[in-house]
Amino acid sequence: MTKIGFVRHGSTAWNKERRAQGSADIPLDEDGIIQANKLAERLSMENWDVIYSSDLLRARQTAEIISERMGNKQIVLEPRIREVSGGQIEGTIESERIAKWGHNWRELDLGMEDVESVIKRTLPFIQEIQEKHENMNILIVSHGACIQCLIQELVPQVEFEGHLENTSITELNKTSNGWTCNLYNCAKHLDS
Q: What would the pLDDT profile of 89-140 be if each residue is shown by its tens digit?
A: 999 999 999 999 999 999 999 999 999 999 999 999 999 999 999 999 999 9
Task: Write out pLDDT tens, residues 155-176.
Answer: 998 888 889 999 999 999 998 8
The residue-averaged pLDDT of 131-150 equals 96
Domain housing 71: 2-191
Residues annotated as part of the active site = 9, 83
CATH number at residue 20: 3.40.50.1240
The predicted structure's pLDDT at residue 87: 95
CA 122 to chain centroid: 11
**Maximum C-alpha span of the chain:** 51
8-state DSSP, 136: S
The predicted structure's pLDDT at residue 160: 81
Q: How far apart are alpha carbons 148 and 6 in whole angstroms?
A: 10
8-state DSSP, 153: H
Q: How far apart are alpha carbons 56 and 78 in whole angstroms?
A: 9
Number of structural domains the chain divides into = 1
* Known binding residues for substrate: 8-15, 58
Beta strand pairing call for 50-53 and 75-77: parallel
